[in-house]
A and B are shown apart, each in its own frame.
Chain A
Amino acid sequence: MPRNWLIPVVLLIVAVALPFVVPTYYVQFISKALIMGILAMALNLAVGHGGMVSLCHAAFFGLAGYVLALLSPGYDPASLLLTLPVAVLASAAAALVIGALALRTRGVYFIMVTLAFGEMLFFLFHDTGIAGGSDGAYVNAKPELSIAGYQLLDLASPLVFYFVILAFLLGLIALLTMVVQSPFGHALAAARDNERRARSLGYPIFRIRLTAFVLSGAIAGIAGYFAAAQFGFVAPQMLGWHLSATVLVMVLIGGLRSVTGPLIGALVLIGLEEVLKASTDYWKLIEGLIVIFIVLAMPNGVRQLWPMIVGPAKDSDTKPATTAATEATHV
C-alpha cells in the first residue's frame, strides 16, 4: 500500500510549508515542540528500545543548556561549531558516569538511582553559585554558525532556527532508525526482552546498554542546547526530574516501540498543555488526570485510538514507515 510512504511525505511537506503560513509566535512554539520531540525520541532510545526507565534525562538536557550559557561570551554570540560539540560531550560524559553506576542495578532500583543522580546535578546548579544558582543565567545572543568570519545561517531568525531544528530532527529520525535496525539495536532489544537469554547468547549486556544510554544522553544534550539557545535562559528547573517525568509521559503517549512515536507524543502533550493553560488556571490538575487516564486506559499510547479513527488496520501501517519497520523487528 502506498500509505506507508504517503504519510511521512505529507507530514514533511506540512512541516516545511507551515512556518510560512503561521504567525511567528507559532513558528517559535512549533520549534519548541520539535525540540521536546528530539528529547522524547532520545529518551525513548533508553526507555522503549533499551528497557531502561530513566528519570534523569532532563539533567543531560539541562547540562548542555548550561554549557552553552557558560560558554557564551557576555552579549556576543557563541560559535555553534565550537559550543555544540562541547555541550553534547558534557551530556555524554554525565550519561557515561551516571549510566555506569545506575546500570549495576535493575528495574525499580534503576529508576530510583537515575532519579537521585539527576537531582544531584539539579542541586549542583541550584545550590552552588555556578551560573547564577537558583536564579538561572541568560544566554544573551543566539549562537552563530559561521566559518572564517562568514555567517552561514542566522539563528536569530525564528524561521532559520525552525529549519535548523527540523534538519536535526530528520537527521535524528534517520540515525535512530538505523541504530534500532542495526545488529546493535537488535541486541539492545534482546537484552530488554530477555536479559538472561541475551546474556547466555554471549552479548555484552552492560556495554550495549551503556552505549545506548550514553547515545541517548548525548542526543538529549542536543535538545537542551537548542532549548537554551531558543529561550535565551537556563534555570535549574531544566534539569529537574519533573521535566524527565513529563518527557516520559510524551514517550508513553507516542508509544514505546517506535522511533517517531515519542515525537508525536511530544507534539500532542505540548499542544494539550498550551490549550489547557489558555483555558484554565488548574491546568496541572487536568493534565494529571489525563496522564492517569492514559496510563490506565491506553497502555500502548494514543496510537490505540488510531484504528477507531481510520478503521481497523490490516497490519502495522498505522504509523510512518520507520515505525512499521521497527515494529517488525520487535515482534
Chain B
Amino acid sequence: MDLVTFGVQLLNAIQYGMVLFLVASGLTLVFGILGVINLAHGAFYMLGAYLAYWIAAYTGNFWIAMAAGVAIAFVVGLLLESVFIRRLYGRDHLAQVLLSFGLILVIDEFREIAFGKDVHSVAPPAWLAGSIQLTDNLSYPVYRLAICVFCLVVAALIFLVITRTKIGMIVRAGAENREMTRVLGIKFDVVNRYVFAVGIALAALGGIVIAPISTVFPGMGDGMLILSFVVVVLGGIGSVAGAAVGALLIGLTDTFGKVFFPSVSSILIYVLMAAVLLWRPNGILGRREV
C-alpha cells in the first residue's frame, strides 16, 4: 500500500469515525444525563436520512434539508420526552429497553407509511459534489472531506458547550451526581427534555450527513445502533470524550480491517470490543461503576 492509498484510507477511517461520533455522542449524553438506554436512537438516524431525502427532493437544497431535518428531530425529541421518556426515569433498564423497542416499531411503520420502503439517494450540495484528483487514477470526493470538517466543527461545539458553558456545567454535574445537583436547585425536568432532544437531533444529523454518500434504506438504523453501542462500550458510558475515542477506533479498525483482512473484517470490531472488555470493562475512559 503506497502512501496515497494509505492517506485515502486514513481519511475514510476518520470520516467514518466522525459520523459515528455524532450519533454515539447523542446516545451517551442521553444515558449520562437521563440514565435512559434508548434503543430507538438508530431509528432516528434512519429517520434523519429519510427526512433529508424528502426535504431535499421538495426544496432541492441540501442545507435546508439539513436544518429542517435537525429541527424536526429536535421537536420530536421534545415531544417524545414529555410524553414517554420521562415516565422511564427510575424504572429498570428492561422497561427502558422495551419501551424504546416499541418506539422502533412505531417509527419503522411510520417511515413505511410516509416514505415507503424504497432505497433512495440524496445529492450533495453542488459545490461539494466534485472530486479532488490525487493521482492519475485516484480521486477523492470533496463531500467526504466536507463531512470530516463539518463533524469536527460539531464535535468542537459539543466540547465547548460541555466544558465552557453553564449548561455544560449542569450536564456534567448531573452526570456526576444527580441528587446533589438537584439539591443545588437545578430543575432536571427541563434539562432532561433538552438533552434528550439534542441527543435525538445528533442521531438525525448523523443520518442527514451520511445520506449523500450512502443510500437511504429502511434497515440503516439497526446497523448504526449496534455500532453506537460498541462505541459507547469502548469509550465508557456517559463520556463524550470516550465516544470520540471509541468512534475513531471503530473507524480505523473497520476501514483498515476491510483493506488488510477482508474475510474477517465484519467481526473485527467485536473482537476489539471483547479485548477492551477484558482490559477495562468500564470502557477506555470510563471511571464510574455502572
Contact = CB atoms under 8 A, between A and B. Distances in A.
Interface of A: 47, 53, 55, 101-102, 104-109, 111-113, 115-117, 119-120, 123-124, 127-128, 241-242, 245, 248-249, 252, 256, 282, 284-285, 287-292, 294-296, 299
Contacts of A124: 266-267
24 contacts: A102-B277, A105-B277, A109-B281, A111-B97, A112-B233, A116-B226, A116-B230, A116-B270, A241-B226, A248-B94, A248-B97, A248-B98, A256-B94, A284-B105, A287-B102, A287-B105, A288-B102, A288-B103, A288-B109, A289-B106, A291-B98, A294-B98, A295-B95, A295-B98
Interface size range on B against A:
35 or more
Contacts of B233: 105, 109, 112-113, 116
B87 A296 contact: yes
A132 B105 CA distance: 28
A287 to B, nearest CB: 6
B98 A108 contact: no
Q: Is the interface of B mostly helix, strand, loop or mixed?
A: helix
A290 B232 CA distance: 30
B187 interface: no
B99 A112 contact: no
Interface in B112-169: 112-113
Contacts of B232: 112
A241 B229 CA distance: 13
Nearest to A285: B109
Contacts of B229: 112, 115-116
Contacts of A105: 233, 277, 281-282, 290
A101 B280 CA distance: 11
B94 A289 contact: no
B31 interface: yes
Contacts of A290: 102
Contacts of B278: 101, 104
B287 interface: no
B267 A291 contact: no
A111 B98 contact: no
